[in-house]
Amino acid sequence: MMIKTRFAPSPTGYLHIGGARTALFSHLFALHNKGTTVLRIEDTDLERSTPEAVEAIMESLAWLGFDYDEGPYYQTKRFDRYKEVVEELLEKGHAYYCYCTQEELAEMRAVAEAKKEKPRYDGTWRPEPGKTLPTIPEGIKPVVRFKNPQMGATSFSDLVHGNLSVQNSELDDLIIARGDGSPTYNFCVVVDDVDMEITHVIRGDDHINNTYRQVNIFKAMGKPVPQFAHLAMILGDDGQKLSKRHGAVGVMEYYDRGFLPEAVINYLVRLGWSHGDQEIFSWDEMVQFFDLKNVNKSASAFNTSKLLWLNQHYMIEKNPAELAQLLKPFLAKIGVATEDTPAFDNFLTKAVEAHVKRSETLVELAEMIKYLFIDEIEMDESAKAKQITEASKPVLEELVRLLSALSEWEPEVLDAAVKQVTQNLEVGMGKVGMPLRTAIVGRTNSPNLDETLYLVGKERTLERLEKAIAMI
Ligand code: GLU
């Protein structure tokens, strides 16, 4: 059997992290099994779907690097096909017209509520052998209801949860087309999965209740029921349902916060799936190892520090010249003018190489190297109070004296000059390094002094040292 999976987001908002995980798992499952993937935009809810949301979802999928073999298909472009299947089901007696008014339906709900029962359709218009249906009222546009079996149970074998089953008496006769003829959600999903020949439906476990209804529609259409794998929820760091409260939940917010897609993907693959105790996976390894057998039934909790750890791993692993390109928009955001010239790129790459191990996100890295690109650095107040003092004044002055005399500005020469200062003044390296860093970086944390001095450059170094001396 040729395996085919789909990702079927509803464009009612951004692609959230749970959706991205669903997209990832259905992708990996297809690729692992040498199958294919379909992207389907479930935009039948005309009030809640927006073109902006479609755009946002596409942008997120592109950022994550997911390519689809087919699609995007749009449900709104398939209304004729849904109509055709509604007709077919009506003809075959699997569906029927229901002329109940809103008032009658409200009455049914009220009766059920009074009896403390689940509100359900009472079957007024459901045809049965030997049953006389009410007279069709004037002026009412009927809805079409699916004739769900009433006896027995509907079950399916879920690839994550095992056998799942519900009594048919629990399931209503679902409306599949509204009074205006527009098809409803659960019905469209089935028609699409049939037409697109989906073999494996991988989605969030909030859809399990829909699946029972959908299984019966597949059967009524006389089509094979696909396999289902329902993925458990993702919880926030605090064990509560993941929500806006937890900060970033939209995929592109991770971009904005300076994460690399490789890190987000590697993080997501471990949210509910494991392969021994391996944590770091290349894309090829994910494809090679992924299976639904090792997907967890229970919810997994988000762990931001692990994501940060992975992000740092991928930042360090990335080619520094490429990382430099990715960093440019983050520099621009904090007011650093960037250029697309070989000289600028070379310098930025060197800056990235020197600082990458000290930051966990591109946002942090941009902040960290900002001092190399601006004229006026901001000095950390507590570093200034501790390092730019009467006691360090002779050190700063000696640094100016030796550094200004240098005709070359290369790391080896700079290293020697700094050592010379410690010797001349008979002080330890800390007494030189800390004030020097504070003066030229604005804080006491920076790469090796020779590298830092080299990157800041002679002119700016001397300027900043003089300025620091003047502050004392
Ligand atoms: N459109 C649904 C959603 O975004 C997914 C439906 C499905 O995968 O069957 O939650």
CB 9 within 8 A of CB 203: no
Bond preceding residue 72 cis, omega within 30 of 0: yes
Q: How many CA atoms lie within 13 A of 324 on its CB side?
A: 21
H/E stretch holding 329 reads helix 320-333
CA–chain centroid gap for 469, Å, is 48
Tell me the CA distances in angstroms from 253 to 63, 127, 257, 367, 418, one per residue in order.
Answer: 12, 52, 6, 18, 43
Q: What does CATH list as the number for 318-374?
A: 1.10.8.70
Closest CA to 206 of 265, 255, 153, 161: 161
> Which pLDDT tens digits describe the chain residue by residue (472 residues)?
899 999 999 999 999 999 999 999 999 999 999 999 999 999 998 889 999 999 999 999 999 999 999 999 999 999 999 999 999 999 999 999 999 998 998 998 898 888 888 888 999 999 999 999 999 999 999 999 999 999 999 999 999 999 999 999 999 899 999 999 999 999 999 999 999 999 999 999 999 999 999 999 999 999 999 999 999 998 888 888 877 777 667 899 999 999 999 999 999 999 999 999 999 999 999 999 999 999 999 988 888 999 999 999 999 999 999 999 999 999 999 999 999 999 999 999 999 999 999 999 999 999 999 999 999 999 999 999 999 999 999 999 999 999 999 999 999 999 999 999 999 999 999 999 999 999 999 999 999 999 999 999 999 999 999 999 999 9
Nearest CA to ligand 1 atom 7: 8
Specify the ligand 1 atom closest to the Cα of 22. Answer: 8
The reply to whether CATH 3.30.70.141 applies to domain 381-471 is no
Instruction: Count other Cβ atoms within 10 Å, centred on residue 373.
Output: 17
257 C-alpha vs ligand 1 centroid, how far in Å? 27
DSSP class of 457 = -
Residues 272, 239: Cα–Cα separation, whole Å: 14
Beta strands 143-146 and 36-41: pairing type?
unpaired
Q: What is the pLDDT, as a whole number, of residue 239?
A: 81
| pLDDT number for residue 301 | 87
Token code pair at residue 307: 């994501």
Atom of ligand 1 nearest to the CA of 19: 4
Listing DSSP states for 384-429 in one string gives: HHHHSSGGGHHHHHHHHHHHHT-S---HHHHHHHHHHHHHHHT--H
Alpha carbon of 233 to those of 149, 203, 343: distances in Å? 30, 10, 48
pLDDT of residue 340: 97
Atom of ligand 1 nearest to the CA of 185: 1
> Which among 15, 203, 211, 228 is the best mutation to test ligand 1's pocket, defined by most ligand atoms within 8 Å of the CB?
203
Residue 136 structure tokens = 């069709």
Residue 223 and residue 16: Cα distance in Å, rounded? 32
- Annotated binding-site members for ATP: 244
CA 232 – ligand 1 centroid, Å = 14
Write the class of the CATH domain 81-177: alpha beta
Annotated binding site: 244
Residue 462 CA to ligand 1 centre (angstroms): 61
**Is residue 89 left, alpha or beta, with left meaning phi > 0 and alpha meaning psi from -120 to 50?**
alpha
pTM: 0.92
Domain 1-71+232-317 has CATH 3.40.50.720: no
Domain ranges of the chain: 1-71+232-317, 81-177, 318-374, 381-471
Single-letter amino acid code for the residue at 213: R
Contacts of 129-132 spanning 24+ positions with Cβ under 8 A: none
263: which residues sit within 8 A by CB, 6+ positions away?
307, 310, 311, 313, 314, 315
Annotated active-site residue in 34, 116, 131, 244: 244
Say what the pLDDT of residue 240 is: 82
Does the annotation count 244 as an active-site position? yes
Q: Which residues line ligand 1 (CB under 6 A)?
A: 8-10, 42, 189, 203, 207
Q: How far is CA 250 from CA 60, 205, 247, 257, 364, in A?
A: 9, 19, 9, 11, 20
Give Cα separations from 415 to 388, 411, 424, 447 (angstroms): 21, 6, 14, 13
